[in-house]
Structure formats: structure tokens, C-alpha cells
Structure 1
Amino acid sequence: MPSFKPVIALTRGLEILRVLNEQQQTSVGALHKATGLDKATIVRMLETLEHEGYVMRDAERALYAPTGRVLVLSQGYDQHLWIGSVADPFLQDFRKQIGWPSDVALFDRDAMIVVQTTREPGSMLLSRKPGFRFPLLATSLGRAYLAFLPEEQREAVIGQLAKNPEHWNDLARNRKKLNRLLSDTRSRGFAFTDDAYSREVFNDAMWAIGAPIMQGEQVFASINIMMLRRAVAVEDGIKQFAEPLRQTAARIAKALVTMKGGKA
């Protein structure tokens, strides 16, 4: 447990920087909508970040954008690079085997973050590069990761998500429904993307299944398959790809353990 209460100003500043980094270029109004923070507070945070060199301001259009200095904040973190590099050859082989793109993602506090992908630029409606963040409870990658965590870790994550007002986290506040969904996921061995998320983000043109990349009780990451509804019906996709997905996840997990010297 922390020795002191969180520094609220720092928490707010980091939230502003996180959202700004996700949106790449945005306004005070958009940041207010995304964070719920008072606009005056947002302006103070932005001006502080600008002073420190992490943010630049387009005065003519009243827009803010992150600078290259934000990269300095991630230099000490390389787990995503390691897992992405280990997973890449397996993902490439998997793409050749099934003909559909896949992502590998890691858990990042309250969301999942893509660390490797076989999506091609401009394909599948949109291209999501490594570093893209998306809601944990709405996606097959997030649900597959959460469902297979050891109970204590899973409860801690759900508790954190329940405090987040984003509408994709409403499920964390409906424990009966969430527990049933996670139990079904464990029974199947894979997860589905939420239908509402598919409608909102992909105009209901795509669907996905995801599986955990795990060894024993340790869940390293998760892997998915993205498919067009008009090309692959859900029932057919499960019959064709669920088992190859689990097999690929197992191969990646085995390689991760081997790379760590056999320590899971």
C-alpha cells in the first residue's frame, strides 16, 4: 500500500498527457469531454506540460499535441518490445495459415495495449499500430486476458476498472453479468469482442475472438483474430480458427518462458 495519498495535481497532469497522446492532437473541449476535468484545470496542466516541453500548442487552431519528448517517459519500459519481438514470427506464420490479421496485446493498468500486429496499413477498415490502447472489457483481447488471470489479480483489475467512469467499464460495476461472461470465456477457452463495441468502432463490419497467452497461471498477454462479418460467419470462424488461435497462443507462451530462462 502507498505511504501517502496520491498527489492529485500529478494524477490529473498524467491523465491529460495520456489522453493527449492517444488523440495526438486535440482541444481543451475534447480533453474536458474525455477526462471530466474542469477546463481551467486542463489549461493549467497543458501550460505546465508545454513549459516542460512535453506539449506544443497551435495557437491559431487552439489545438495541443504531444512533442517527441514524451518518448523519454517510456525509455525504461521494454516489456512490450520484448514480447512483441518474441511473438512476431509466430504471428507472421499464423497470418499465412489463417489469412486474417491478428494482434498481441498487453494489459496496461486499465486498458490493453497492442505490442505486435499483422494488420496491414490501410486494411481491415483501419490500421492499429503497436502502442494503440483500447478498453479491456469491450474487446476479445481484454476479456481473454482478464478471464484467465488468477482470482486475486482479476479482482484487483476489476476493482480498478469499476472506479473508471468510461462507459466501457460499466460491466465492472455489474459483477453478476461480468462473472458470468468471464466464466463462459474460461469454459470456451476464448473470448468475443463486445457487440456494442463492434458497432461503435467498426460499424458492425468486423468481429474478433481472443485467447490468453499463458503458461501455468501466469498470463503474459493475449492474441486475437479479426474477421469481416460478411466473409466469415461467427459459427464458421470458431470452427476454423479457435483451435489454431489457442495453439499459436501456446507457442508464443512457450517461447516467452524459454526466453526468460525457463522461469514462467
Structure 2
Amino acid sequence: MPSFQPVTAALRVLEVLAALNRLKEASVGDLFRETGLNRPTIVRMLETLIHAGLVARHPERPVYVTTGRTLELSSGYQKHEEMALAAAPILARLHAGLQWPSDVSVFDGDAMVVARTSRREGVLHFNRRPGYRAPLLGTSLGMAFLAFCDATTRAGALAALSGSSDPWNAVARDPAAVEALLETVRRNGYASMNKDYSDTSYNGVASAIGVPVLLGGVAVGSLNLMYLRNSLDEADVVARFVAPLRTAAEEIAGALAGMRGG
């Protein structure tokens, strides 16, 4: 438990920076819609971030962008790099074979961090790049990991999510319900994207299935496959893609074990 109450202004600055980072460029109105903070507060937060060198005004349009200095904020984070290295050639082969993009991710407290993606610019790009934080109970990446991770990690993650107002996290407050969901994932061997998350993040256009990356039977990450819901239904996706997705996850696990000398 933290020793002191958080500094509200600092949390708001970080919220505005995170939103701007997701949007790539944004007006004050865009950030208002993304964060719900009032416009004067957003302006003060942006001015603070400009002063810190993390944000700049666009020279020609009334929008803000992040600067290269934001890269310094992630320079100490290394956990995803090993997974990205292990998965890169496997993701490329998987995409070439299945023609739908995939992400591989690692756990980071209350989300899965995308370590590597096979997405390209176009209809299925969706701005999800390495470093994207995928909600644990909203995405197939998160559910696949939670179902197969160790009990201590799972309990800590669910406790962290129990106070969230996101609709896909409501189940975290019902231990029996969340265990039933995770048991279904274990029984099926794959997880599906939460419909509320699909509707919120992709306007219901896209969904995904995900499988765990296992070492010694315990999840160390997860792998998904994204698809368009008007092109395929989930039954087709499961029938055609779960088996190759599992094979790819096993290959990634083997590459990780080799890198670790195991």
C-alpha cells in the first residue's frame, strides 16, 4: 500500500500525456473527449508538459504532439525486449500464413504490454504498436495470460482492477464470476476479446482470440490474432486459427527458453 495519498495534479498530467500518446496528435477538444477532464485543466497540463519538453504545439495546426523526449520515460523498461526478440520471426511467419495480424505481450501489473506486433498500416493497424497496454479483462491477450499465470500474480492483478470503472473490469469484483470466466479459457485453451472492449475501442468492428505463452506450464506472456467481425465469426476463427496460434506460442516459448539457456 502507498504511504501517502497521490498528487492529483500529477495524475492528471500523466493522464493527459498518456491520452496524447495514444492519439499521436490531439486538440484540447480531443483530449477532453478522451479524458473527461475540463478544458482549462487540460490546457494547464499541456502547458506543464510543454515546459518539461515532453509535448509541443503543432506549428501549423491547433493540435499538440509528443516530443522525442517522451522516449526517455520508457528507457528503463526492459521486460518486453526479450519477448520481442524471441517472437519476431515467429510472428512474421504466422502473419504470412494466416493473413491476420498478431501481437505478443508481457504482463505489467494491471495490463499486458505489447512487445511485438505483425500489424501493418491499413484497416487492421488500429494504432496498436509495441508499448500498447492491453487491458487484462478486456482483451484476449489479458484473459489468456490471467487464466494460466501463477495464482499470486493473478490475485494481485485482479485486486488492482477491482476499483476500475471500465465495464470489462466489473467482473473483478466478483471472484466466483471471474474464476468461471478463467476456467472457461483454460478449458477451451484460448480467450476471446470482451465485447464491451471491442465496442469501446474498435466500434465493434474488430475482435481477437488469444493464447498463453507458457514456460513450465505457467504463462509468461500471451499471443493473439486480430480479425474483422464482418469477415469472420468467432466459430470460424477458432476452427481455423487456434491450432496454429498455439503452435506459434509454443515456438515463442521455445525461443525464450533457448535465450535463457533453458
Runs ≥4 residues deviating over 6 A: none
Unaligned runs of 5+ in 1: none
Taking the aligned partners of 1:35 and 1:199, their CA distance within structure 2 comes to 18
Taking the aligned partners of 1:10 and 1:124, their CA distance within structure 2 comes to 34
Q: Deviations 1:178-209 (Å, cap 9, x if unpaired)?
A: 22211111111110112233344444443321
SS in 2 for 1:121: coil
Residue of structure 1 equivalent to 2:240: 240
Identity %: 44
1:165-204 alignment, distance < 5 Å: 165-204=165-204
State the AA in 2 paired with 1:223: L
Contact 2:210 2:222 in 1 (8 A): yes
Taking the aligned partners of 1:251 and 1:150, their CA distance within structure 2 comes to 21
Structure 1 pair 183/27, CA: closer, same or farther in 2 (3 Å)?
A: same
Structure 1 pair 24/71, CA: closer, same or farther in 2 (3 Å)?
A: same
Contact 2:214 2:250 in 1 (8 A): yes
State the AA in 2 paired with 1:81: E
Contact 2:104 2:116 in 1 (8 A): yes
Structure 1 pair 173/61, CA: closer, same or farther in 2 (3 Å)?
A: farther
Structure 1 pair 217/14, CA: closer, same or farther in 2 (3 Å)?
A: farther
State the AA in 2 paired with 1:47: E
Residue of structure 2 equivalent to 1:82: 82
Residue of structure 1 equivalent to 2:10: 10
Residue of structure 2 equivalent to 1:120: 120
Taking the aligned partners of 2:203 and 2:36, their CA distance within structure 1 comes to 26
Taking the aligned partners of 2:230 and 2:22, their CA distance within structure 1 comes to 30
Residue of structure 2 equivalent to 1:21: 21
Residue of structure 1 equivalent to 2:260: 260
Structure 1 pair 45/102, CA: closer, same or farther in 2 (3 Å)?
A: same
Residue of structure 2 equivalent to 1:139: 139
Taking the aligned partners of 1:242 and 1:15, their CA distance within structure 2 comes to 36
SS in 2 for 1:95: helix
Residue of structure 1 equivalent to 2:219: 219
Taking the aligned partners of 1:166 and 1:28, their CA distance within structure 2 comes to 23
1:36-55 alignment, distance < 5 Å: 36-37=36-37, 39-55=39-55
Structure 1 pair 95/30, CA: closer, same or farther in 2 (3 Å)?
A: closer
Taking the aligned partners of 1:187 and 1:116, their CA distance within structure 2 comes to 27
Structure 1 pair 33/158, CA: closer, same or farther in 2 (3 Å)?
A: farther
Taking the aligned partners of 1:84 and 1:61, their CA distance within structure 2 comes to 36
Taking the aligned partners of 1:169 and 1:16, their CA distance within structure 2 comes to 22
SS in 1 for 2:57: strand
Displacement of 1:66: 1.5
Structure 1 pair 171/60, CA: closer, same or farther in 2 (3 Å)?
A: farther
| C-alpha RMSD of matched pairs (Å) | 2.7
Taking the aligned partners of 1:137 and 1:143, their CA distance within structure 2 comes to 6
SS in 2 for 1:153: helix
